[in-house]
Structure 1
């Protein structure tokens, strides 16, 4: 693929989004062909604001900022194929009505490394831009609070730059002398003005309260700085990053196959659901086709983990409001399902069982009997738990009308999954953009139009029932076929393929020792994960590891919405809101 052909604006491309090219001359754009078939256009930093503003204003607008991230392009081996400078800022928009994505890229010089903020266009751009500054050092001009978000305020450097070391052993040993300790302690001092709060007004001296970062009600190492008037919330500022482990940096030094176990630890309640978008993005990049059996097994296990995640959510939601019994019952049932997962994969929460081009192994004998026993047993128990929780008058009083938001508010903040469908928006990737054979299953997407904490919980209960329906169909109609494709990039390769001749033996040796080499290109894939839409965007420059891996998680934008939906409510209501969002901090911080 030559740079000239890659950058050409074709009639076919114009036909996909005619409004854009009617408003702006096509000479303003350079096209890029990607494996995921998302329209990808390079634009100048001077025009990006006007273009994004226009895309948000058209009929059936691209009004959700689905993702915003950066790329350090300086060491990329295939730079000559693209209009690349030193860094790239990527804006990915989603139109719910069109069920269509569009990706805009802006090339930036290292000096000055800056671009205008888009926080006035998209509310959820705030955290995404702070993340890009934190990890890459890109300045977003006129951003309201361009400070560290995932790393401590005293951190030196920007770790997703290519010159930043990927291993601790590449740095000097850690030391903490008295002077450094005092500096760290001073940085921890809470100053309300720095958080956008006022200490007092003419009528009131406000109280400030730290909720977390270690507190059962915040579901992980998550802090919310609260400004209170009595027990009423005046402001709530989320503080994240305590669980940040540099997953995207790790992806750059692992082989394509070697990074699979790290994906399990993103939404650590999602199990193989975390492998799913990563594996599918690589398979799309390499052109790997898997058998119908592989597709069916992947769907079945993903729906098992959807149930496992929702069971824990259901129990902790009731627990946070004050009802303790359900979580004990649900943990018993989770153990029953975990035992099946362990029998099939060899592990419980983090099996890392999906592989590039297939699965780690085929289903064991007797898997169907175990699955059938659970699918026959669990629906009746779920009915009991629903009566116990959802019909409880205290649960209803505490959650109905609390944390309420509209469909448009959800889109403005980038909310997906049950949080979006609770506003009446019928958007589930398994239906609107089916993958891995989801189009072959008979199931219903639960909806509600109240948009409150109660609706978000009610939807997840019904989603568990629909997952049982899908699993039963998988059991009944499990296809025959291989559990791994015979593609040279399949990792690890099938053992029997290494015994044909010396060439296949060399291929097997290289794939298992150094890792498979993926072709040049860019690919992304999104799945309907347990907490919303999760996607991986990967860039390959033709080596055995990723040049850039972007992990778009649902929980990151969801937490950003907390201030808007909690102001004016009571402190006890905030606990209900947090419980209803259904997040884990590893999914936020990566």
Structure 2
């Protein structure tokens, strides 16, 4: 087994705005240097709310709570100089101002009754993140409006992401369901509107509810919304998620570093290798691996092809949701053309799992450029036809213009990224804000709109398809020669030709493939501008062949949380357009 020398932790950047605001306050317990160079500060539990409120205070900062998660530290051996902590609460903040800085705030919590103050009064999107932390880790948030099971059933026992919770069915006795247990399960599903924060709209009206889902064609997956209605007008809406939860983060802590790559494909299952991208980037940051230029450009080309495929699905299903039946058939046909290219290059279509630690699985096949160029010449004319068919259609415009609108500030408050944020007029794209791979070598525009409504979200998606075509063409024209994998002992698997050279290399190959590489201790995150917004993997290594903590921040999760805000006062038919325009995948929400 190969164990590489740990890379030196990256020095903290020069104090950025957020970091400078808290770096010299008495509340700081420690300043941690992480592999990804994101400034990381430790704050005592009793000071956490005040410190985070101070960080959010400046109006011009446009600061988003990008993620909130927990690390169970109780079995971790390589913690360095971090403060004592049984559970570590992690807040990741992102600024959309000109400085564009990021900050990671950590709060140590004890093993006995871990609790912290809620910040749902500061950032509304913290509501679901805190529910998730309680559900999966048992962290109690004092002052939370309704702390509940979010991703697991209401009758679940224990907290699944704790290290002492079982991970496989074989660790439990055979499942049985008695009649009494079935009654308890059914009773637990009873909906109590008052408990969910609903109240009578007026003294002369009573509750009227409609369950939309969890099996309904317009919700694009196993997703339920409980609607409180007055006639056909929505008074309130409660999204209910978790039906699709598969424990992807738990599986990430039971798989070797490279054998987990295929699991990532199944998160945003329309994004394909776009899911591999942030994961392998995070592992490479931990291990100090730099993929070669050819591998970087292959990654970008395939990621943009998947962006096109995903946006075509969105475009077709969105038009279908508001009553147009023909476009979805045409657009799915064009998506098949994208998959033909991906299959020719990767060998698989929707879930190729093609990225590897340090590069990609194999080189481009003979004739790949001809296939791609043919498609690049074909699709723009089809997009022009769809423009006439869908976007200029009077009914489509009437169903989407002015519906489900939100402002830039509301988008940032609720954690909206990607096309949904740019539809409000903010020209912000992570590929420009923090260029990764070879995006800094490519020319592309950042499409925006002005109104932030359903129509504008579609407009931005269409413009992004055209920009992706532009990026892919540059990749074809400028594809560099050279290796497709880094020459590093931790890349997996090593080149086959070298395994035939001597027995030692063959043994290394066998161990790296079967057990996986030993990644040096530390933590890092990889973040990309995925098809639906920012997709981030936060990985913690304890110096082993598997991840100690795998955190997946997906864009669809916070986006769905915003539904009540933009649907109150709308008609039921408007809600269908709103749901379609969000562009989410339930596996991306529930993981």
TM-score between the two structures when normalised by the length of structure 1: 0.96
Deviates more, 1:521-530 or 1:331-340: 331-340
- Cα deviations across residues 341-361 of structure 1 (Å, max 9, x unaligned)? 111111110000111111111
Partners of 1:521 and 1:541 within 8 A in 2: yes
TM-score between the two structures when normalised by the length of structure 2: 0.96
Partners of 1:192 and 1:199 within 8 A in 2: no
For the structure 1 residues 35 and 329, does the alpha-carbon distance in structure 2 shift closer, same or farther, using more than 3 Å as the test?
Answer: same
Partners of 2:9 and 2:34 within 8 A in 1: no
Q: CA RMSD in A?
A: 1.8
Question: C-alpha distance in 1, partners of 2:9/2:503?
Answer: 37
- The equivalent residue for 1:418 is 419
Report the secondary structure of 1:454's partner residue: helix
Query: In the alignment, does 2:67 pair up with 1:67?
Result: yes
Query: In the alignment, does 2:458 pair up with 1:457?
Result: yes
Report the secondary structure of 1:53's partner residue: helix
- The equivalent residue for 1:32 is 32
For the structure 1 residues 539 and 574, does the alpha-carbon distance in structure 2 shift closer, same or farther, using more than 3 Å as the test?
Answer: same
Question: C-alpha distance in 2, partners of 1:335/1:164?
Answer: 42
- The equivalent residue for 1:87 is 87
Partners of 2:131 and 2:148 within 8 A in 1: yes
Query: In the alignment, does 2:34 pair up with 1:55?
Result: no
Question: C-alpha distance in 1, partners of 2:357/2:461?
Answer: 30
Partners of 2:567 and 2:578 within 8 A in 1: yes
- The equivalent residue for 2:312 is 311
Report the secondary structure of 1:155's partner residue: coil
**Unaligned residue ranges in structure 2 (runs of 5+):** 1-7
For the structure 1 residues 565 and 488, does the alpha-carbon distance in structure 2 shift closer, same or farther, using more than 3 Å as the test?
Answer: same
Deviates more, 1:87-96 or 1:188-197: 188-197
Partners of 1:486 and 1:494 within 8 A in 2: no
Partners of 1:6 and 1:31 within 8 A in 2: no
Partners of 1:60 and 1:95 within 8 A in 2: no
- The equivalent residue for 2:20 is 18
Query: In the alignment, does 2:208 pair up with 1:196?
Result: no
Partners of 2:12 and 2:39 within 8 A in 1: no
- The equivalent residue for 2:130 is 129
- The equivalent residue for 2:260 is 259
* Residues 497-512 of structure 1: pairs in structure 2 closer than 5 A: 497-512=498-513
Deviates more, 1:477-486 or 1:242-251: 477-486
Partners of 1:252 and 1:546 within 8 A in 2: yes
Deviation of 1:82 (Å): 1.7
Deviation of 1:80 (Å): 4.7
- The equivalent residue for 1:538 is 539
Question: C-alpha distance in 1, partners of 2:62/2:175?
Answer: 47
Partners of 1:521 and 1:539 within 8 A in 2: yes
- Cα deviations across residues 320-341 of structure 1 (Å, max 9, x unaligned)? 0001110000111111111111
* Residues 521-560 of structure 1: pairs in structure 2 closer than 5 A: 521-560=522-561
Aligned residues: 583
Partners of 2:533 and 2:555 within 8 A in 1: yes
Partners of 2:516 and 2:545 within 8 A in 1: yes
Question: C-alpha distance in 1, partners of 2:94/2:554?
Answer: 15
Question: C-alpha distance in 2, partners of 1:198/1:103?
Answer: 37
Question: C-alpha distance in 1, partners of 2:179/2:119?
Answer: 41
Partners of 2:314 and 2:583 within 8 A in 1: yes
Partners of 2:246 and 2:590 within 8 A in 1: yes
Deviation of 1:401 (Å): 0.5
- The equivalent residue for 1:580 is 581
Partners of 1:62 and 1:93 within 8 A in 2: no
- The equivalent residue for 1:45 is 45
Deviation of 1:440 (Å): 1.0
- Cα deviations across residues 161-220 of structure 1 (Å, max 9, x unaligned)? 001111111111110110111111111122221222236742112310000000010010
**Unaligned residue ranges in structure 1 (runs of 5+):** none
- Cα deviations across residues 440-479 of structure 1 (Å, max 9, x unaligned)? 1111110111110000001100100010011111111111
Report the secondary structure of 1:79's partner residue: coil
- The equivalent residue for 2:373 is 372
Partners of 2:18 and 2:102 within 8 A in 1: no
Partners of 1:133 and 1:148 within 8 A in 2: yes
Question: C-alpha distance in 1, partners of 2:233/2:318?
Answer: 21
Question: C-alpha distance in 2, partners of 1:14/1:559?
Answer: 31
Partners of 2:280 and 2:356 within 8 A in 1: yes
* Residues 562-581 of structure 1: pairs in structure 2 closer than 5 A: 562-581=563-582
Question: C-alpha distance in 1, partners of 2:23/2:31?
Answer: 12
Question: C-alpha distance in 2, partners of 1:546/1:19?
Answer: 32
- The equivalent residue for 1:100 is 101
Report the secondary structure of 1:237's partner residue: strand
- The equivalent residue for 2:496 is 495
For the structure 1 residues 200 and 459, does the alpha-carbon distance in structure 2 shift closer, same or farther, using more than 3 Å as the test?
Answer: closer
- Cα deviations across residues 477-499 of structure 1 (Å, max 9, x unaligned)? 11101111111110111112334
